[in-house]
Structure formats: C-alpha cells, structure tokens
C-alpha cells in the first residue's frame, strides 16, 4: 500500500474532532513529502536533531510536533519552529521551554505527559505530581507557554483491557483538570486545555473510544521501522 492510500484510509476512519499526527521518525524526507502531497500538515518526530533536519528541508506550512522525551539543554534547537511539544513532564523542562519561547518572542504549546503504563520505562507525571505542578506559583508565572492538554502512552501489550483501563485513567485525569480549571480560574496557562494525545497505530481506535482527541500514528502510514 502507498503512503497516500494508508493516510487516506486512516483519515477516513477518524472522527472530525480527532487530529492526526503523522509520526515520521526514522523515515526519509521523500516519504514525508508523499504524505505532505496527500494533504498531511502535522508531523511528529521523537528526536530534535532529526526533526530540525527535516524542518530545514521541507515546506514551511508544516506543523512539527515533538513527541519524544526532551532534554532541557536541547529545547533551544527547536524553539523557533516547533508547534507542539507532547512529552513535557517536569517543571524544569517547562521553565526551559518558557525561557526559549521568550527568547524567540513566541508562545510554545505543550502537553503534559502522564504516566499511565505499568512499565517502568515510560516517562511522565503521576496525578499527584501533575496537580502539584499546575498549582505551583512557578507554573502560574510562566507567560510564554500554553498547556493544551495531556499526553500518555499505554503499556506495550496485546491485552486490550489493560490498554483500555490506562486510556480511561488518562481521560479521568484530564476531566478532573478541566473541572478544577472551571472552579479555580487557575491561570491563563490552562485556558486552552482541551487536547488528549493518546493512541498509536495499534490502539488508536480504542483511544478514540476512550476520549482521545489527537492520535500519533506512524507505522500504519509509513510502514514498519
């Protein structure tokens, strides 16, 4: 199957309110250009250097999403052009993003990554850490970031019930933040809190059933890595 037909099939299966991030990590620019020519404008990469090389070579109306783990000292390399950072999981990283956004005279959109899997290796905040973070005065003081929502990755397993449980958990955390936001008028940083980034090639339909509004799909579009 061609990249274009894979993309069209997936897009046709997505409800209108769900945004597709085409995860193009490890794939050559020629593959990304096929998706671009089929109309795709949002691409996800997990390494800053690779994303920057692709950004340099490709049309400038593409929105680049960083979906991988980000080291603070590398934020500066993508700050000028990145459109959404999915994997933010510490105040320190947020502060660095805020600082680099300020330097570039822009606001950078972020998602906070929540730890929902049973594996030890996945990054992210738990619910208590999330609540502590968003209620801190350091958080409220940052003017050059916006938190658009939450991101999570389910356990790598065939067990659909396990995955479903984890997605529902993420949705419930998301709902509780939205509720808090309504009562406390927390901070303008959370004004645009409306996105749940969950679901990949193997589990995106289940993720959408559980409330996902943004799916990150790689191998089903571009083939295996």
Ligand X SMILES: *Cc1c(COP(=O)(O)O)cnc(C)c1O
Note the residues at the interface with ligand X (CB under 6 A).
Answer: 23, 25, 46, 67-68, 153, 200-202, 216-220
Cβ-based nearer residue to ligand X, 186 or 197: 197
Count CB-CB contacts under 10 A for residue 201: 16
- In the complex, the smallest distance separating the C-beta of residue 191 from ligand X, rounded to whole angstroms, is 25
DSSP letter assigned to residue 43: E
Cα 159 to its chain centre, rounded Å, is 23
Tokens of 189: 């940083």
- Residue with the closest Cβ to ligand X? 218
- In the complex, the smallest distance separating the C-beta of residue 185 from ligand X, rounded to whole angstroms, is 32
- In the complex, the smallest distance separating the C-beta of residue 11 from ligand X, rounded to whole angstroms, is 15
Cβ-based nearer residue to ligand X, 23 or 114: 23
- In the complex, the smallest distance separating the C-beta of residue 176 from ligand X, rounded to whole angstroms, is 23
Q: Measure the CA–CA gap between 171 and 176, rounded to whole angstroms.
A: 9
- In the complex, the smallest distance separating the C-beta of residue 13 from ligand X, rounded to whole angstroms, is 14
Tokens of 9: 């099939």
Tokens of 179: 């509720």
Rg (CA), the chain: 17
CA-to-CA separations, 174 to 13, 32, 43, 97, 136, in angstroms, rounded: 24, 32, 24, 22, 18
Judge contact between 206 and 160, C-beta under 8 A. yes
Cβ-based nearer residue to ligand X, 80 or 219: 219
Cβ-based nearer residue to ligand X, 193 or 222: 222
Cβ-based nearer residue to ligand X, 52 or 189: 52
């Amino acid at each position: 199957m061609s990249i274009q037909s894979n993309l069209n099939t997936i897009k046709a299966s997505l409800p209108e309110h769900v945004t597709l991030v085409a995860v193009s990590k490890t794939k050559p620019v020629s593959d990304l250009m096929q998706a671009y020519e089929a109309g795709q404008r949002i691409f996800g990469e997990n390494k800053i250097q690779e994303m920057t090389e692709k950004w340099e070579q490709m049309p400038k109306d593409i929105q680049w999403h960083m979906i991988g783990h980000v080291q603070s000292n590398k934020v500066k390399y993508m700050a000028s052009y990145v459109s959404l950072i999915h994997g933010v999981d510490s105040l320190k990283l947020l502060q660095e993003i805020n600082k680099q956004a300020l330097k570039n005279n822009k606001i950078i959109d972020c998602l906070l990554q929540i730890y929902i899997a049973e594996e030890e290796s996945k990054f992210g905040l738990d619910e208590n850490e999330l609540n502590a973070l968003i209620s801190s005065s350091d958080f409220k003081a940052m003017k050059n970031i916006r938190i658009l929502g939450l991101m999570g990755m389910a356990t790598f397993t065939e067990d659909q019930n396990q995955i479903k449980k984890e997605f529902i958990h993420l949705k419930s955390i998301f709902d509780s933040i939205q509720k808090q936001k309504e009562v406390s008028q927390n901070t303008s940083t959370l004004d645009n809190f409306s996105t749940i980034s969950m679901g990949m090639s193997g589990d995106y339909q289940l993720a959408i059933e559980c409330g996902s509004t943004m799916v990150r799909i790689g191998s089903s579009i571009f083939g295996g890595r």
